[in-house]
Amino acid sequence: MANKKITPLTDTEIKNAKPKDKEYTISDGNGLQLNIKPDGRKVWEIRYTIDGKAKKTTGGTYPAVTLAKARAKRDELKSKVINGIDPIKEKKEIKAIIQEKEMEAQTTLTTQFHLITYEWLSTLKSAEVTATKRKRAFERDIFPSFCTYDENHIITSSKQISEITHGELLKIITKKGEATPETASRLFTDCNRLWTYAVSHDYLDINITHKIDKSNVPKGEKTNLPKITDAKILGELLRAIDVYKGDGGVIVRNLLRFVTLLPLRADNLCKLKWEQVDFEKAILTIPRSEMKVKNKNLPDFVLPLPHQAIAILKEIKEITGWGKWVFHGSRSIKNHINKESGSRALGRMGFNDEVNGRKQTLHSFRGTFASLARTHHKEHGATFETMESVLDHQEGNKVVRAYTHKADYTEQMRELLQWWADYLDEVKVAKQ
């Protein structure tokens, strides 16, 4: 039987084609047909045969794709088939290539060095001051070599972390080491941690810091922080604190009086809350999560209060007891005092002369306590473990720590700290 001759469609015929309960098609010939959907949509379909298999693909929707455009698409498709190209397969391959390029572009955006660095920094659990210093070190010493900035010095892009070489990194570290070896050493350690993070998150395959010979990395000399240990100078310091009337007034004065008795870390001291003070039991309890060593297996930090410290707290409570912080800020009473306030006050009092052993900072009181407590060991008889417990120095050996992490030195610390407070009273009034 001869094939039925198909009359080409006209625009009028297409426009007048009405939807039915079921979809149906009207043919234009040579594989092109229009599918009329029950919802009124009119979709072009192109049929073809390749490698003995009948296939069908869409050519757009009428009237967005006119009859003329649909015929042009059909002719283009048929031409490909004649040349052995399967249009459907070709379309999938093109789509796959586009997707791959889009993924590569996205990867290029998300694996820029500065973005990976900021992502890594956000995962670190460290004190605010430490986090700020680490971030500034990267922005000051590393970023300029790999980042592009706009006129406002805002990063617009940076080199892919996978494209940075160990030679480039070593050059930066070495140059930094010429001025500040210790900073360069810390920077190298942080770069190692950053690249380890990047490898573990599949941003690249190799940690380039492992290719750097550590003998080429500058090593900073360890220096002890300045602290006053001479009894005569210490007496002068204690007397100067008692009459301090500079910036911060009574808040700063009592902050300094308190830290001479209880050698807390500056961060814990300045962020001390009233809820952490138990007057009845005469102790401070600081949650482990707020301490430098945040090991959840360790108990909260408990520190007994000698009666001199209780007296200071009762005095300051009349001023700040209404709020959250024991030592609130001098400019913003709703925030805790700034850690620099105490050190600046000590400098104004004249205790900023390291050469002559007269330099003291807020953190230095820990060193003063540690040195003098060991020097006068025969007087108080406290064990090494008790002295370390006052400073919350944790045993570095994991095996030892596993057996000692629940040891309670509270009462031993109470005796030691009362001796310390009494000793300071004697130093303060002694005639030198």
Instruction: Render 211-253 in DSSP notation, one character per residue.
Output: GS-GGGS--PPP-PPP----HHHHHHHHHHHHT--STTHHHHH
**Arithmetic mean of pLDDT over the chain:** 86
pLDDT of residue 402: 42
Q: Per-residue pLDDT averaged across 225-230, rounded? A: 86
Both tokens of 383, joined, read: 């064990």
Residue range 11-90, CATH number: 3.30.160.390
Q: What is the pLDDT of residues 366-413, one digit of tens each?
A: 999 999 999 999 999 999 999 999 999 876 444 334 434 456 889 999
Is there a cis peptide before residue 299, judged by omega within 30 degrees of 0?
Answer: no
Residue range 231-429, CATH number: 1.10.443.10
pLDDT of residue 401: 42
pLDDT of residue 399: 39
Residue of 363, 386, 352 lying closest to 269 (CA atoms)? 363
pLDDT of residue 226: 85
Portion of the chain with pLDDT greater than 70, in percent: 91
pLDDT of residue 381: 92
Q: Per-residue pLDDT averaged across 177-190, rounded? A: 87
Q: Where are the domains of the chain?
A: 11-90, 111-216, 231-429
Residue of 375, 346, 416 lying closest to 229 (CA atoms)? 375
Q: What is the pLDDT of residues 316-355, one digit of tens each?
A: 999 999 999 999 987 778 889 988 888 899 999 999 888 8
Task: Tell me the pLDDT band of 312, cut-offs 50, 70 and 90.
Answer: very high
Q: Which element (helix H / strand E) includes 344?
A: helix 339-348
For residue 113, pLDDT beyond 60: yes
Distance linking the first and last C-alpha atoms of the chain: 129
CATH 1.10.150.130 applies to domain 111-216: yes
Do the Cβ atoms of 234 and 260 come closer than 8 Å? no
Task: Tell me the pLDDT band of 217, cut-offs 50, 70 and 90.
Answer: confident
Q: Per-residue pLDDT averaged across 272-283, rounded? A: 95
pLDDT of residue 179: 81
